[in-house]
Structure 1
Amino acid sequence: MNFKKLSVLCFALILASMSAYAQSDITGKWKTTLAGPQGEMELTFYYKVADGVLTGTIASQMGEIPLEKGKVEGNKFSYDFAIQDMTVSHTGEVISKDELKVVSQRGEMKLTRVKE
């Protein structure tokens, strides 16, 4: 194999490893606190990512809701959940390995990773 072919192969492998590294793993437990009419409410998000598909739940003292239509693309992700015959869509972005920003029509949240 000549030097040019070897260089192109090395470059392709480096690009492939960089794109795999860019796929942020948000799998795990995350928390936030929201202010509401009855006071503060803690939400716990359980995310699991496999092959670009995001699954999981959102839990509070009122119960647990499954995520729907979840997907991850690089450092961005999205999902929906249904509550009282209404679907709420969310988009998110990885800020750091321990912080996420999640936005919906109801506002913006900062989620913090829970170390277990």
Structure 2
Amino acid sequence: MKKRLFSTIALVCGAFLICLAIAADLTGKWTGSIKTPNGDFPVKYTFKVDGEALTGTADSDQGSIPITDGKISGNNFVFNLNFNGTPLKNVGKFYGDSITIDVNFQGTNLHGMLKRVEEKK
């Protein structure tokens, strides 16, 4: 009985630590593009994870927009951007060194793929 209890506790703790490691790995700089009807729109994101909170910025040639209401759960995350007064809900999934982001912009579903920017050492 004690062996089974110990095994269960170890599995739960291990799963929790894996989730924390995945969340921490999203922190950093990412670059890629969002596919639009007018072609690819290049973007850069800087993410910072603190527990389940996600903050940072979305950067493009048009400027920088702060990420608001960001949340992360495992390898899934959501956040909002205020683009010229229009709130944009972003839904993403983390895959290690790449992420996908889906956003609905004025009724059009847009999809993006980003890669982690390698930090120079």
TM-score (ref. length: structure 1): 0.84
2:70 aligned with 1:70: yes
How far has the Cα of 1:9 moved from its partner?
Answer: 2.2
How far has the Cα of 1:18 moved from its partner?
Answer: 1.6
Between the two proteins, what is the percent identity of the paired residues? 26
Q: Structure 1: any 5+ residue segments left out of the alignment?
A: none
Residue deviations 1:37-80 (CA, integer Å, cap 9, x gap): 88754311000001100000011122100000000001100000
Q: Structure 2: any 5+ residue segments left out of the alignment?
A: none
Using the alignment, how far apart are the partners of 2:8 and 2:49 within structure 1? 28
Q: Aligned pair count?
A: 112
**Contact 2:34–2:113 under 8 Å retained in 1:** no
RMSD: 2.1
Using the alignment, how far apart are the partners of 2:99 and 2:91 within structure 1? 10
The structure with the largest alpha-carbon Rg is 1
The SS at the match of 1:13 is helix
Match of 1:108 in 2: 111
How far has the Cα of 1:10 moved from its partner?
Answer: 3.4
Residue deviations 1:66-101 (CA, integer Å, cap 9, x gap): 00000000110000010211100010011x211101
Supply the AA of the counterpart residue of 2:16. Answer: S
The SS at the match of 1:19 is helix
**Contact 2:35–2:112 under 8 Å retained in 1:** no
The SS at the match of 2:69 is strand
Change (3 A) 1:40 1:91: closer
Match of 2:98 in 1: 99
Using the alignment, how far apart are the partners of 1:65 and 1:86 within structure 2? 12
The SS at the match of 1:78 is strand
TM-score (ref. length: structure 2): 0.81
| Runs of at least 4 residues off by over 2 Å | 33-42
Match of 2:29 in 1: 29
